[in-house]
Chain A
Amino acid sequence: MNRIEARFEQLKQRGETAFIPFITAGDPDLAASEQVVLALAEAGADVIEFGVPFSDPVGDGPVIQEASMRALKHGITLKDVLGSVKRVREQSDVPILLFSYYNPILAYGVEQLAADMADAGADGLLCVDLPPEEGAEYKAALDAHGLCTVFLTAPTTTDARLAVVSERCTGFVYYVSQMGVTGERASVVADLEQQVSRIKRLTAKPVAVGFGISTPEHARHVAGIADGVVVGSALVRFIGAHGSDADLARQVHDFAKPLADAAKGR
């Protein structure tokens, strides 16, 4: 069983919610982001969303855009990110979900990427601008290597599409709870419970919620509703502010711990 699926299975048995932090690979540099992954695992991360930097991240707000630009200044490529995954994998079993835009994947080659991801020890891929209708070849390649394909669902996704999208998801279904791009918000949306149960009526797969979850209070609230809690921009902002500190990894650990604990109801 794939590490992501196995982790959700364990959590289910323990009655716990997954804590899923997002960071941009190569921000502030590759070695540092590898240390951050390990620190997040230590803090209680169940799946790491590891972002592949892209020049034109249309789905992201300013915080993650800037992290992408910082990484691209060092010339970080998808190949470098896979190298990072491989090094992390020597030290940790934490499930890793790569997060990317489609063009770098196309340029790499979908077949080649699936093979190299499996070789590096990555566990799945989420492509923000690839709806499942456009991703048949992509899904076949990832499936063939036992890698998870996570697709997005949103408040505007109709029931008919929800059925299709969730069917194509493996590992978990990602629910984008807020209209708009990634970024911190003052509060969690009011209709979250309703929306998550709408998805759960249509699929038995775990549902993780992301976009706008930035505090332990948010995480605790969402954990009561969904199977996974994704925290991205708040963490990426923290890394941006502390990127040059020698003890970045320890600081990230201390920042993430309360979020992880909140997600797990501790």
Chain B
Amino acid sequence: MSESANSSSTLEKHPWPDARGRYGDYGGKYVPETLSYALEQLEEAYAKSKTDEAFQKRLAWLNQHYVGRATPLYFAERMTERLGGAKVYFKREDLAHTGAHKINNALGQCLLAKEMGKHRIIAETGAGQHGVATATACALLGLECIVYMGSEDVERQKLNVFRMRLLGATVVSVDSGSKTLKDAINEALRDWVANVNTTHYVLGTVHGPHPFPLICRDFQSIIGREVRCQIMEAEGRLPDTLVACVGGGSNAIGLFFDFIGDEQIEMIGVEAGGTEITPGMHAARFSGGKRGMLQGAMSYVLQDENGQIGSTHSVSAGLDYASVGPEHAYFHDTGRVTYTYASDGEALDGFQQCARLEGIIPALESSHAIAEVLKRAPKMDKDQIIVMNMSGRGDKDVQQAAKFLMPDMIP
């Protein structure tokens, strides 16, 4: 079920990235010189690991016995009935160990770091899911772990901070800039520049300088490969539509990638629409951003007319980021993936409906994808199929959601 080769038609029709780490005009390696060598090293080590049988075997074993893969593909029967249109399936990444898809990438990269002889791991985190996943992988593999987190997010996600500390990680609160994910990445990059000889940076999404978007895509694309087998088993055919939320874009790439070559399949990426599409009030890069370079990659970036990076807002910390993975920028321009957004309010509505109809409390990030399913499924035929990536569980978000939904409950 989880064979490591991606669909041959995807690889045939989508030969990216090229040798320079480009997806069309996007991607690349825009880093201070000190990091150039580390990126080269990482590229080499990663290429080696792909043909290293022992490495692949260990990863597959851990994916099955530690992460709990394959995660289920679940038919959301009550939601399907309520919406009265397409059959809705959830890919249950929320059931993976640590409660989100982030572990797929964190575990793979930590194994890789160990192969490279780097025993100090750094990571950035927004909502805390990638931080928790990395701290978990480090505990498992006996690696030192330092997680950078914006001080505002530390405040918003106290529970995850505690989890990371419990797992033995050091959480560094970042007070610079907007004190959120973007600033945590800046600080992680600064650490990496200083300690590159001993340290591997486990970047948590399909962003950053090449080869990070490639490595993260490869570790996440197990999601789509499993879905292919699972939907064939359940329905005897491929889905019509795939839906996933897009922050940096790793869970979306993870679901989409194996199906890129299946051109009849429609793919929808859902960004954070925040409160409205005006500067500072959202994180919908394809609606309010333009071509730019942030944190190592050419992509779409929310910025002002002078190239200063814009501030962002979303009810979901994991989608609250000013840029997006370069491969998504490419898919946007070619039209292979359609990008839309859901507002804070729509996401909160999806959050509640999913809880009540299916008994699943989704992450606020995934709730953006649910919001799109709620709009789209009723307009589709009953014999059509939507697969939505339930990228994470919502336990971490109940406090944040309660502030909006049941303010009397919060002391």
Contact = CB atoms under 8 A, between A and B. Distances in A.
A152 B305 CA distance: 27
A155 B34 contact: yes
A265 interface: no
Q: What is the interface residue range for chain B against chain A? A: 35 or more
Contacts of A165: 33
B29 A56 contact: no
B294 interface: yes
A133 B40 CA distance: 13
Contacts of B195: 179-180
Given A59-B193, A155-B34, A179-B194, A105 B307 contact: yes
A134 B28 contact: yes
Contacts of B182: 56
Interface stretch (A123-131, A192-200, A216-224, A230-238): A123-131
A30 interface: no
Contact of A180 (B20, B193, B294, B301): B193
A158 B176 CA distance: 32
Contact of A106 (B35, B189, B291): B291
A55 B293 CA distance: 13
A106 B289 CA distance: 14
B294 A103 contact: yes
B301 A103 contact: yes
A157 B37 contact: yes
A157 B307 contact: no
Contact of A176 (B20, B33, B189, B307): B33
Contacts of B36: 131, 154, 156-157, 161
B236 interface: no
Contacts of B291: 106
Q: Which of A55, A176, A180 has the most CB of B within 10 A?
A: A55
Interface string A107-120: 11000000000000
B193 A129 contact: no
A54 B308 contact: yes
Contacts of B190: 58-59, 61, 180-181
A151 B197 CA distance: 22
A106 B300 CA distance: 12
B295 interface: yes
Nearest to B193: A180
Given A55-B308, A107-B307, A180-B193, A152 B32 contact: yes
B401 interface: no
Interface in B189-231: 189-190, 193-197
Given A104-B308, A129-B32, A58 B295 contact: yes
Contacts of A24: none
Given A56-B294, A107-B307, A179-B194, A133 B34 contact: no
A181 B186 CA distance: 11
Given A65-B176, A107-B292, A152-B33, A56 B28 contact: no
A194 to B, nearest CB: 17
A7 to B, nearest CB: 24
Nearest to B311: A55
A131 B186 contact: no
A168 B263 CA distance: 43
Given A56-B177, A72-B308, A107-B303, A102 B30 contact: yes
Contacts of A48: none
A130 B297 CA distance: 11
Interface string A193-210: 000000000000000000
Interface in B294-329: 294-296, 301, 303, 305-309
Contacts of A2: none
Q: Which of B189, B293, B308 has the most CB of A within 10 A?
A: B308
A158 B303 CA distance: 35
A251 interface: no
B156 to A, nearest CB: 21
A56 B194 contact: no
A113 to B, nearest CB: 11
B293 A131 contact: no
Contacts of B20: 133
Contacts of B30: 102, 129-131, 134
11 contacts: A58-B190, A65-B176, A103-B309, A106-B307, A129-B31, A129-B296, A134-B29, A154-B36, A156-B33, A156-B37, A176-B33
Interface of A: 54-59, 61-62, 65, 72, 77-79, 102-108, 128-131, 133-134, 151-158, 161, 165, 176, 179-181
Given A55-B177, A58-B190, 8 more contacts: A56-B177, A56-B309, A128-B32, A129-B31, A131-B33, A165-B33, A179-B196, A179-B197
